[in-house]
Structures are given as structure tokens and as C-alpha cells.
Amino acid sequence: MKRLHALIVALAAGLCAAAHAQAPPQVLVMLRAAPPHLHAADGYAAAYVASPDETARMHVARELARQYGLQLIDNWPMPALGVDCFVMRVGAGSSASDMAQALSHDARVESAEPRQTFHTLASNDPLYALQPVATHWHIAELHALATGKNIAIAEVDSGVDAAQPDLAGQIVEQRNFVDDGTYRAELHGTEVAGIIVAREGNGVGIVGVAPRARLLALRACWQLADGSASAACDSFTLAKALQYALEKHVRIINLSLTGPDDRLLRRLLDAALAGHVTVVGAVDDTAADGGFPASYPGVLAVAGEHANVRRGHAWLAPAEDIPTTQPGARWNLVNGSSFAAAEVSGLVALLHELSPDLTPAQLRDALHARSALGFASLRPMTIDACAAVAQLSHRCTCGCAATHASLGVPRR
């Protein structure tokens, strides 16, 4: 019966993918903009305050569309890159790759690329005792030192149910970057959010790794109609969400998704990393290099502890039978690197609270820390959350004697 269900789900997913593949191809065309001075409007609803030369760029975009036989369908300013991004639909008989290459040679165009698809990485009470981080990471003891208080995390994902009992009051912003109507609650986004910031001590559900962090739920993906938590995204929706996260000066960006290498997203990731934003990406076990953006230099790539990844390629965290939130007053067990990445995003928030001026090098040193807590099965890149917190807090935790012996941390 399970195999039949899996076959039905796989067929449904295949039909959704086929339908998406048949959609007219689109290209993203970047035009140079004035120095960054665009800011989200007070009543933000997927719109920005226009810059003085917006009309001129729109004129150029329309002329390009006319000249190359394209249809202009959308645009978005990317002040972090000094460009405006225009979405154009490619006509019948032309490929997005060929059109992007032709546009790239036009002097009016800063750069152009095909609009690419991405997908999330999930496989489908008081539940605290069931949480792997409760036992492996001793999360209750870590929360005596840090809870991620006031650390801003951008979750770029599908929609989050902010009314879910474990998430009520935990989401500081919800923004929609998908052109399919209004913001909506969806499975994958809600599951990832619960792992990061679920409320602590409310008598229901689970405890987030960073329950007092400030979570921005940025909807750049949409749930597929196959009955699973699978969600799809594309390079334009992701770019809009990343640009917004940069404007909001978040400390951490969680990307529990994967897709093809993409130039526009690489540039936005570079802007984030240059600003010492920690970008956490979920590893795609089916991709030789772990998939993009996890494979991109500077991104904190996270895989499940039992994933088949090359030694040294990724940080490892629990990823099997993780209890978490779902839309409505529901909870369930989930599996996949999406959720391992969410755990690490929460842990990074704890470390940023302990060390507000934490540099990327110091963060990676802390994640490399290893205490002598008796985890004989730990592999070289498996994260020891207790040792990481002890190193930055200079306090004993998770078994003071063991931490003291391995890290030279004074007893307090």
C-alpha cells in the first residue's frame, strides 16, 4: 500500500513538473540602476518606492522587448546589485538560454539569464522528548545561555502559518514574492519555521532551536498539488526575497531548497556574505556537488547526519523523524536536509546572541569545536552544538566536566 501511495505521489509530482516545463520560457534582464536608494514602502505589498530614473529604465525594457520579440511581464529593483530586474516571456520557437545570451551582448543590458526553477528538500503533544536536538544537542541546557533573542532570521521558503499554536507571536513579518495571489500557509514553510522558532514552554508541540529569534517568513516558493510538502520556487521569486532580506539587515538566511547554479542568485549571495550575513543552505543528496546554493562558497551547507555526502563537504545535523509544526493545530514527523538546515539556522542564532560581533571565521571555528561528551558516532563534520555554545560563551554546558576538559572552559 505504501509503495502504491509513493507511486501515485511520484506520478502527481511528475505531472506538475511536466506542466511547469511546458510553460513559456522566461528570461531575467538586468538594467543598470542609479546608486542604491530604494527602500521598502511603509505599506509594503510587493512594491517599492520608484527611483527618479525608473521611467527611463522601463522605456529601455519595453524597447528591448519589442526589438527581441519578448513580452514584458514583471520587474523588481535589486538595489543590492545596482540593477533593476525585468522578467520577459520568450516567444514560440526561441529558447530562454539563447535569448539570454543574445541580450547579454546588447550594450543596454547589464546581464541576462533564463528564469530557473528550484525546489525544497523534504521527504515525506508535547513532542519535545522526541526532538533529536533535545537529546543530541541538549537544547534545554543551551537555552539557559541563549535563545536567539532578537536575532533576525529570514526564512526564504513557502508560506508559514503564523496562527499555528507553536508559532503564534513568533513571526515578525510575512511577505509574499510569488505572483499567485495573497500570502498563504503551506506545509514546508511552516515545518521549517517550527524547527527554528517554535514557542518554548507553552504546553503544546515542540521547542524551536532559537525560540526568541525574530523570524521573517518570506514566501518565495509555492506548495505543489501532489499531497506532499514539496514546494517549487524560481530564480526571480528567490531573488526578490533575498533582496528584501538584505534590506531588512537580517543576520541569517535559511535556504532549505535547491536548484541549478544561478548568476543572479550568486550575486545576491555575494552581497549577503560580504555583509557577514550567515547563509544556511540544505544539501541535495542527489547532486554530486550538493546542489545550489549549498555548494556555493561561503554558504553553510547542511546535510542529514546519515546522508551520503563526501567527507568535508557539509556540516551534519539531525534530519530523520523530526517533529515539527504544520498548518492548523497540527504537528508531524518530517525527514530531509531542509530540516537539518533549519536546526543549524537556529543554532547560528544562539551563537550570534552569545557573540554579537561574531565573524564568519569565528562562527566556523565554533561549529568545528568538539567536546568530549561521549558521542562516539560523531563524524568529522557533525556539529556538536554544546561545544559550539561553550566555545563562544566561555561557560560549561551539556555536562560541565566534559566540556571543561575538552575546551578549557572555566567552571561557573
**Domain assignment of residue 387, yes or no:** yes
67, 160: one domain: no
- Which of 115, 139, 170 corresponds to the end of one domain? 115
Per-residue pLDDT tens for 115-143?
A: 999 999 876 534 667 788 888 899 999 99
Q: Within 10 Å of residue 370's Cβ, how many Cβ atoms?
A: 18
Residue 223 burial (C-beta neighbours within 10 Å; 0-12, 13-18, 19+)? buried
Structural domain of residue 222, as residue ranges? 119-393
- Which of 82, 115, 148 corresponds to the end of one domain? 115
220, 298: one domain: yes
Helix (H) or strand (E) holding 85: strand 83-89
From the list 222, 276, 309, the residue with the least C-alpha distance to 20 is 222
Q: What is the DSSP string of 160-179?
A: --TTSTTTTTTEEEEEE-SS
Number of domains composing the chain: 2
**pTM for this prediction:** 0.87
Helix (H) or strand (E) holding 195: helix 187-197
Q: Quick one: cell of 224?
A: 505543489
**Domain assignment of residue 34, yes or no:** yes
**Domain assignment of residue 7, yes or no:** no
Please count the CA atoms within 13 angstroms of the CA of 295 that sit on its side-chain side: 16
341, 322: one domain: yes
> How does residue 15 score in pLDDT terms, banded at 50, 70 and 90?
very low
Q: What is the pLDDT of residue 130?
A: 77
**Domain assignment of residue 157, yes or no:** yes
Q: What is the pLDDT of residue 17?
A: 42
82, 123: one domain: no
User: Please, are residues 197 and 213 in contact by the beta-carbon 8 Å criterion?
Assistant: yes
Q: What is the pLDDT of residue 381?
A: 78
Q: What is the pLDDT of residue 12?
A: 38
Per-residue pLDDT tens for 167-201?
A: 999 999 999 999 999 999 999 999 999 999 999 98
Per-residue pLDDT tens for 214-271?
A: 999 999 999 988 767 789 999 999 999 999 999 999 999 999 999 999 999 999 999 9
- Which of 80, 115, 150 corresponds to the end of one domain? 115
111, 123: one domain: no
CATH number, domain of 74, equals 3.30.70
